[in-house]
């Protein structure tokens, strides 16, 4: 169902949010109302689903830019919802979880979530996370090389396409953004904190373990063995670099 329409205070609206549709998938009405109130006040277009099945259906029909997804949902949980969404949508997914164990965070990110935030959380923090994702650069600067070849791997920053052995790879937005940054300066070592700033935004606050999880996801899709990688190499104690040797 869509959230109720309420008048907005235009003085508080963020131009970055204009026209951006957010789907909130949350079974707790009090949390939904709070999140919707903050997002609408910032100028986002907000819809709400109270269960996982409805969340998947609305993501398919409404094509939101961002999905705020609770982990613990009745019936189909957030992990399965995210897995299904990733079969047809590249919307940003922020997962909400009251279970703060590391395994829950890792599982959520491994199925395609872009970020996670623990309950109880500040709605302002959630809005800040969404803003940071929306600020990520989406196009190459004019005059820059279009295709970046790395052996059998071809990266097209303008079309936002990645081919491996002439086959298109299905990457999430965050996975592509991470690969785009790494490939922008081949063989340069990117520290984890720098990757956080480049991909997640300078005002993102959280541990840098999220980078490791997304690198692991990328390696799996690239068929890259972390022990003998072809494309994304680990520089111990520093971070990662892109290269063929």
CA distance 238 to 119: 31
pLDDT at position 54: 96
Q: Is the pLDDT of residue 33 over 90?
A: yes
Q: Cis (ω within 30 of 0) for the bond into 120?
A: yes
Q: At what angle do helices 209-222 and 173-184 cross, to 10 degrees?
A: 90
Task: Assess whether pLDDT exceeds 50 at residue 139.
Answer: no
Over range 23-33, report the average pLDDT: 94
Domains delineated in the chain: 10-134 (3.40.50.2300), 148-242 (1.10.10.10)
CA distance 39 to 57: 21
Environment class of 18 (CB within 10 Å of its CB; exposed 0-12, middle 13-18, buried 19+): exposed
pLDDT bracket for residue 15 (50, 70, 90): low
**Which of 28, 37, 75, 40 is closest to 56 using CA atoms?**
75
Supply the mean pLDDT for the chain.
82
The per-residue pLDDT for range 167-183, each reduced to its tens digit, is 999 998 889 999 999 99
**DSSP strand pairing (115-118 vs 190-191):** unpaired
Q: Looking at the predicted structure, is the pLDDT value of residue 136 above 70?
A: no
What is the C-alpha separation between 186 and 242, in angstroms, rounded? 5
Predicted local confidence at residue 31, as pLDDT: 92
0.75 surpassed by pTM: no
**Does residue 187 have a pLDDT over 80?**
no
In order of 19, 67, 89, 190, the CA distances from 64 in angstroms are 10, 7, 9, 31
Encode pLDDT of 63-110 as tens digits. Answer: 999 999 998 898 899 999 998 998 898 899 998 887 766 656 667 677
Structure tokens at 245: 């040797």
**Does the pLDDT at position 2 exceed 50?**
no
Question: Would you say residue 9 has pLDDT above 50?
Answer: no
Phi–psi pair at 201, nearest 5 degrees:
105, 150
């Amino acid at each position: 169902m869509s959230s109720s329409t309420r008048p907005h205070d235009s003085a508080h609206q963020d131009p970055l949010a204009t026209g951006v549709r957010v789907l909130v998938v949350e079974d707790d009405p009090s949390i939904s109302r709070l999140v919707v109130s903050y997002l609408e006040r910032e100028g986002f277009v907000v819809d709400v689903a109270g269960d996982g099945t409805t969340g998947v259906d609305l993501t398919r029909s409404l094509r939101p830019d961002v999905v705020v997804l609770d982990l613990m949902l009745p019936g189909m949980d957030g992990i399965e919802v995210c897995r299904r969404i990733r079969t047809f949508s590249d919307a940003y997914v922020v997962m909400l979880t009251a279970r703060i164990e590391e395994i829950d965070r890792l599982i959520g990110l491994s199925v395609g979530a872009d970020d996670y935030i623990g309950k109880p959380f500040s709605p302002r923090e959630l809005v800040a996370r969404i803003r940071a994702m929306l600020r990520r650069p989406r196009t190459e600067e004019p005059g820059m090389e279009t295709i970046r070849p790395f052996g059998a791997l071809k990266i097209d920053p303008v079309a936002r396409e990645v081919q491996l052995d002439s086959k298109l790879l299905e990457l999430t937005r965050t996975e592509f953004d991470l690969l785009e940054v790494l490939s922008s300066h081949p063989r340069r070592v990117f520290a984890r904190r720098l990757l956080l700033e480049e991909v997640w935004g300078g005002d993102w606050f959280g541990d840098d373990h999220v980078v490791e999880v997304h690198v692991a996801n990328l390696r799996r899709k690239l068929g890259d063995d972390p022990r003998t990688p072809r494309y994304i190499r680990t520089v111990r104690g520093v971070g990662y670099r892109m290269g063929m040797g």
